Amino acid sequence: MKKCIICDEAVVEQSFTSRNNKNLQLFCCSNCGHCAQAIEDYSDIYSDGTFTKIARAESDRFPSKNKIEELDRRAFKRFRYYKSIINKNSRGIDVGSSIGSFVHLLRLYGCYADGLEPDPDYCRFSEQQYGFEQYNLLMEDFVPSEPYDIVFSFHVIEHVEDPHSFVARIKSILKNEGTLVLQCPSMEIKSFGNIQQTIWEPHIHYFNAASMYFLLSAYFSDIEIGYYEEGLTVIAKNAEVAGFDGKVLERYKRQARFVSGMVEGFPRLKWNNHLRKLRDLAIQSILEKGAVKERLSKGIRLGHYKIKEYNYLKNERGNGKDRIVHITNYKGWGNNAGDIVLSSCVRSAISNDKQTNDLGFNIHSLGEKVNQQLINEINRSKFLLIGGGGLFLPDTNQNSVSGWQWAVSKQQLDEIHVPVVLYAIGYNYFPGQTPNNLFVENLNHIIGKSDFVGIRNTGSIESVKGLLSSDIDVNKIHFQPCPTTLIRKLVKGLGPKTTSRNVAVNIAFDRYEKRFGDKIYQILYQITKALKRLEERSYNIYNVCHLAIDEKAEIVFDRVGLNYKTVRLHHMLPNDIYNFYNNMEVVMGMRGHAQMIPFGINTKIITLGTHDKMKWFLEDINMLDVYIDVNSSEDLCAEILEKFEYTVSESDQIHDRIITEQEKLFEVTAMNLEVISELI
């Protein structure tokens, strides 16, 4: 008779249909509720990369851009969830670490962290993505040089042959009183009632709260078992004496039955995908510790934002009888804060001319599918306005239609019969990125089709010209500064610039492997050290996020105990963003618009350069003296403090220079508007 691998009691064989419609036989325990496939059928599908082909749906052996972003998002969410139990400078390891996303965050936090990953290609990928090596071993073959303070293992235990051996091995690499953190699918939540989604051939074991407690209590004490997303989350302490308690086991049995019953009893909304997701989110919020309060607060803030956004967009569209179709990144709440400001500033700049001020705007997103309906709308308009922003970039709104951000085909462009204006566009390729034939071909077509091509800096102009064929008329290409640099000239009602001890810093975390390479830990630590010095001099530090991903700066700031406030500009509308930057004395920024927007408001800037476009902007405004190349600085902390001291001590002189350079940019913009007016 088969026995339960967890509690050694009798099991009953049951048949289940898996997520890929295979029939799987599981042996389910009547005592602890654990279910498992027959262990005799187990085989290692991890060390040779078979699991990657089955589960990770990759066309080759390495993760795609979307997969990397998904792994990074999941790791950051987990880090925040468990942060309270992670000690800085501790030794930690992630067992089943994939490409090392969670290990990377532990290292940002100052931990000595390792990754253990059996897939050889995913294991090695951490070197090019984060700059560190991982151990390419299974848990049973790993022997550390010294024990760890904390071991993480996310969604691994359900794949192992023998959970007892796996947990015992983890115990052996942990210090006494060290911490184990586990996650795995939950048989009581069962993918929010979709048992077929839970059952999967690579999953050998199916835990519930009771069976997990029975397993861990043989090795650990102070065991806490709860729910995270759609699975179990476990925190346990390594102790010489294990902590099994029959009463606790019964409590977890009752908990598992209650959760299972609640999931089954929750109203099913299969007829509507959005309502089904809402149902799943409601269950998750009830089960996940602290989630109800957090999500309720976020929902209230989102609702308030949407009301303001409705009125904002109504005003932005205007009532002018002559309509312009504006293709732009205009959406807020979670999207790039720089883009929503830029979108508004483009319309303000175009409307600023006396010849074009009776215009209204039909605003469409760059990510919106281009169809015949949109083409017809464009042809009924006064002209087509595209921009601004770094649209000449292949990996934002990645597509195989045009190779740049607006996925419009050459045939669709040829169907447009009104003037086409490219306005304040940037060439945003990172150093090392090479344009492919699709991009170059479509770049030539859009510029050939356009009547006015406004490029936002001279560096971009030269890069674009270098990709154009000889039959393209380059005289239509004009230097058109980003209109965010003109905010104080374009926006009415902006308060006067005042002095303060407020210092804002924006650290960009998108494309971090291109921005920082393998120097990421040193660079971010040096920046944070400089901010700590400024805090000690009674400056108020603001962590400015243009995208949610920028919030990762909190990890490095918390590492040194920096006192700061995070400001989520990606949850604000333009006027709120203007008011924030207007109240800053100095803004240190990595993102282009974390420099151009403050400049446009006449706030002093220090550029933390990780991209050529930042230097190009400063060259155009004759302010290279506030530029720092973070990758080549020999003592980044000292250089930041030196630039800051210079900026503050020469405050009046720098302010006058900003005003002078802004006036020049405004004059260029006015001349360009005359050209555009003649076209329309």
Pair 361, 316: CB distance under 8 Å: yes
Span of 190-199, 362-371, 451-460, 513-522 with lowest mean pLDDT: 190-199
Classify residue 314: in a domain, yes or no: no
For CA atoms 188, 192, 196, 200, the dihedral sign is negative
Confidence of residue 271 (pLDDT cuts 50, 70, 90): low
Residue 219 has pLDDT above 90, yes or no: yes
- Residue 55 reports pLDDT greater than 80: no
**CATH, residue 159:** 3.40.50.150
pLDDT exceeds cutoff 60 at 275: yes
78 and 220 fall within a common domain: yes
Q: Residues in the chain, how many?
A: 680
Residue 656 lies in a domain: no
pTM across the whole model = 0.90
| Structural domain ending residue among the three candidates 460, 487, 514 | 487
348 and 392 co-located in one domain: yes
In this predicted structure, what is the pLDDT of residue 357? Answer: 58
296 domain residue, yes or no: no
Q: Is position 303 within any domain?
A: no
Span 96-117, average pLDDT = 97
Residue 269 has pLDDT above 80, yes or no: no
29 found inside a domain: no
Summarize the confidence of residues 483-506 as an average pLDDT: 94
User: Are residue 463 and residue 507 in the same domain, yes or no?
Assistant: no
Mean pLDDT of 157-174: 96
Mean pLDDT check: name the lowest of 107-116, 243-252, 268-277: 268-277
Picking from 111-115, 266-270, 291-295, 616-620, which range would have the lowest pLDDT averaged per residue? Answer: 266-270
Among 427, 461, 487, give the residue marking a domain's end: 487
pLDDT at 657: 97
Same domain for 355 and 395? yes
Structural contact between residues 557 and 543, judged by C-beta atoms closer than 8 angstroms: yes
Residue 26 inside a domain? The answer is no
Structure tokens at 16: 């289940």
Tell me: do 483 and 513 sit in the same domain: no
Q: Which of 521, 416, 496 is nearest to 130 (CA)?
A: 521
Residue pair 469/327 in contact by the 8 Å Cβ criterion: no
Supply the pLDDT for residue 117. Answer: 95
User: pLDDT-derived band of residue 166, with 50, 70 and 90 as boundaries?
Assistant: very high
* Residues 508 and 482 both lie in one domain: no
User: What pLDDT does 396 receive?
Assistant: 72
504 and 474 share one domain: no
Do 534 and 611 lie in one domain? The reply is yes
Q: What is the pLDDT of residue 294?
A: 82
Tell me, yes or no, whether 468 lies in a domain. yes
User: What average pLDDT is seen over the chain?
Assistant: 91
- Domain boundary residue, one of 287, 310, 328: 287
Q: Phi and psi (nearest 5°) for 114?
A: -120, 160
Quote the pLDDT of residue 29.
Answer: 95
- Give the CATH number of the domain where residue 555 resides: 3.40.50.2000
| Residue 353 pLDDT class (50, 70, 90 cuts) | low
pLDDT of residue 535: 98
Q: Residues 531, 475: one domain?
A: no
For the chain, percent of residues with pLDDT exceeding 70: 96
Question: Is 187 found in the same domain as 94?
Answer: yes
What is the domain range of residue 139? 52-287
**How many Å is the Cα radius of gyration of the chain?**
28
Instruction: Kindly indicate the confidence band of residue 358, based on its pLDDT and cuts at 50, 70 and 90.
Output: confident
Phi then psi for residue 383, to 5 deg, are -165, 165
| 631-656 average pLDDT score | 95
pLDDT digits (tens, 9 = 90+) for 281-310: 777 777 888 777 788 888 889 899 999 999
Same domain, 402 and 441: yes
Q: In this model, does residue 400 exceed pLDDT 90?
A: no
- For residue 194, what pLDDT is reported? 82
**Percent of the chain scored above 90 by pLDDT?**
71
Q: Which of 71-85, 369-383, 428-442, 504-518 has the lowest mean pLDDT?
A: 428-442
Whether residues 502 and 457 fall in one domain: no
On whether residue 77 sits in a domain, the answer given is: yes
For the beta carbon of residue 348, count every other beta carbon within 10 angstroms: 18
Supply the CATH number for residue 363's domain: 3.40.50
| Least trusted range by pLDDT, from 38-47, 188-197, 562-571, 576-585 | 38-47
Number of domains in the chain: 3
